Structure 1
Amino acid sequence: MRISNCPRMDYPFPCGLWPPNLSTLFIGGLKKPISEWGQQNFPTSLVTLILYGKNSGVVSFAKVEDMRNSSNTTSPSFFLPPSLTYLYIRDFTDLESLSKGLQHLTCLEELVIVSCPKLRDLPVTLLPSLSRLSVDSSSPELRKKCHRNGKYWHIISQIPDHQLY
């Protein structure tokens, strides 16, 4: 399913009522910023998720337990199902960390991050299981951590297909 670049679309999102056998979802570039969608539970059948966060506002990714215990309505959380094998995140200009909300994605094989200039942290526990990692250099702090002698280099260098640009 692809829902993207619909600047006039102002429909409230399903909040857990996605098609039950949905395996691929590309979503973003809509009239309503992602930060105003409310909490989202993507279907557990989802294996590929592409999120385009242009004008998204502040969002976070969380485990389902964190969402149940959270009363924070100013920064909605997105529960990503553990079935994901491919995650692409683009243009989340206010996203600062992925270290906590992706730890439960034990099936994730590929992670692509593009144009997230404030991103500082990656999910360290998840990195060793990846077969592909691609991170652009829009975040100076993350670039420093990912390149040789950086905090993440000893893990990233072991990923078979890693691209840091």
Structure 2
Amino acid sequence: MKILSCPSLDSSFPSGVWPPNLCSLEIGALKKPISEWGDQNFPASLVNLELWGDDESDEVRNFSEMSHLFPSSLTSLGILGFDNLESLSTGLQHLTSLQHLTIGYCENVNDLPETLLPSLLSLTTIHCPKLPERDINLRNFWWWNIHRDKCENRESSQLI
């Protein structure tokens, strides 16, 4: 499911609104910045989450400010377009199933956790000038893209 660039849509979805079999969500650039979202009560089926900041309007500076949004079921997480985000050193600890992490278009991110999660198979950084661009374990990254597409196709057929 994708919910992107909807400036009239508030992000406060009441509990239980998410489809119970939701496995992939790409969301951001809504009326309310992500830093002001409360708990979203994502279903346990959610394994792929991409959060898009609204460039300079989102005030998130530390990754731990968003960690309440991340269900422990996540295997893939993308953090994209957070210009004010500086630190990723905290906020990942409870994501014990996380296998793939992408950080992109975050102009001010200047650190990564000293020790990454043991479950992490791939780490990708894109257009983060204070971090080296990297794609660690490319084979697993491509597997994730294929898996994500299958998940989205299955989800679409279940919603019809």
The offset of 1:128, in angstroms, is 4.7
User: SS at 2:114's partner residue?
Assistant: coil
Count of matched residue pairs: 137
User: SS at 2:49's partner residue?
Assistant: strand
Query: Is 2:79 aligned against 1:79?
Result: no
Equivalence for 1:57: 58
CA contact (8 A) 1:97 1:120 kept: yes
Give 2:83's aligned amino acid. T
Q: 1:113 to 1:19 in 2, by over 3 A?
A: same
Give 1:14's aligned amino acid. F
TM-score by length of 1: 0.67
TM-score by length of 2: 0.69
C-alpha RMSD over aligned residues: 2.9
Q: 1:58 to 1:40 in 2, by over 3 A?
A: farther
Equivalence for 1:115: 105
Alignment of 1:1-165 (within 5 A): 1-9=1-9, 11-14=10-13, 16-17=15-16, 18-55=18-55, 56-59=57-60, 60-62=62-64, 78-140=68-130, 142-143=131-132, 159-161=136-138
CA deviations 1:94-149 (Å, max 9, x no partner) are 11222211122121111111111111222333355322211024232x33xx78xx
In the alignment, structure 1 segments of 5+ residues that lack a partner are 63-74, 148-155
CA contact (8 A) 1:15 1:39 kept: no
The offset of 1:47, in angstroms, is 0.2
In the alignment, structure 2 segments of 5+ residues that lack a partner are 142-160
The offset of 1:40, in angstroms, is 3.9
CA contact (8 A) 1:110 1:132 kept: yes
Query: 2:90 & 2:66 partners in 1: Cα distance?
Result: 15
